[in-house]
Structure 1
Amino acid sequence: MTAPFDQHVTFLYAEDPEPSWRFYEGVLGLPLAQDQGSCRIYAAAPGGRAFLGVCRARGPRVSDNPRVQGGAVITFVAQDVEGWHARLVAAGVTPDKAPAYSETYRVTSFFFRDPAGYTLEVQRFERPDWPAPGD
């Protein structure tokens, strides 16, 4: 049997990537792992296992709805969801709502958008069966 993958990279595309690069570097504080010119890849979690690439798009977005086929929601898992909410509001980001608990998924989270219109989420799992970082 093949072992699990060693690393993960999610790529997002923006017609004008510079505002997104500033957002991921300055507002979210993600460390730049590699600058490929038209694409920048950021470390999204410690340990060199999860990355987020933001690249120049070759065309406009087809849909603003992240929950249709081809859509995406990028979720960052953090214990201090409320602290992230306050940090983003202080940086001028407008989240959809304050952090809230979902009984259905047993998570506390909130959503917001990046400069290219991608839906992002900061989430804390409120369930013992979610693996802790490093597990």
Structure 2
Amino acid sequence: MSTPPRPLIGQAVTFLYADPPEPSWRFYEEVLGLPLVQDQGTCRIYAAAEGRAAFLGVCRARAPRATDNPRAVGGVVFTFVAEDVDGWYAHLRAKGVDIPAAPTLSAQYRVYHFFFRDPAGYTLEIQRFDRPDWPAP
């Protein structure tokens, strides 16, 4: 008996939770300038990349976050992939975003990147892959 082909996945949504969510909504709309795709009242969904294949939902939290450590079970790092990392760094600094360190090259992962946090404390990253095996958008 043969296995049926894997069905296609056309889009992806990552959900983050904040309490209160309003500062995060303002951050994603006004600072990052992400287009609002859907306002569900207690949850807003934004286009996270061109082409509307990746989305970021920011919802009202129903319980405290499990951990502040993004690399622990239950932690999150949301990464935006962009060619102009330095341009994003300048843009976010001009908007008053606290960025602990300037963009750097990670030799281990071959990415040029920097980290910052949203108003709910989630770790966000802007990065560019400096490797030929990463698929172009």
Query: 1 CA distance for matches of 2:8 and 2:115?
Result: 29
1:79 alignment partner AA: E
1:95 aligns with 2:99: yes
CA drift of 1:14 comes to: 0.2
Which 4+ runs in 1 deviate beyond 4 A?
Answer: none
The corresponding residue for 2:128 is: 124
CA drift of 1:61 comes to: 1.6
Question: Unaligned stretches of 5+ in structure 2?
Answer: none
1:4 aligns with 2:14: no
Query: 1 CA distance for matches of 2:36 and 2:53?
Result: 14
CA drift of 1:63 comes to: 1.2
Aligned residues: 133
Within a 5 Å distance, the mapping from 1:1-135 to structure 2 comes to 1-133=5-137
Q: Secondary structure at the match of 1:130?
A: coil
Q: Secondary structure at the match of 2:29?
A: helix
RMSD after superposition: 0.7
Query: 2 CA distance for matches of 1:70 and 1:60?
Result: 12
Tell me if structure 1 keeps the 8 A contact 2:66–2:74. no
Q: TM-score normalized by structure 2?
A: 0.95
Tell me if structure 1 keeps the 8 A contact 2:38–2:46. yes
Query: 2 CA distance for matches of 1:6 and 1:62?
Result: 30
CA drift of 1:4 comes to: 3.3
CA drift of 1:66 comes to: 0.5
Structure ID, larger Rg: 2
Tell me if structure 1 keeps the 8 A contact 2:114–2:127. yes
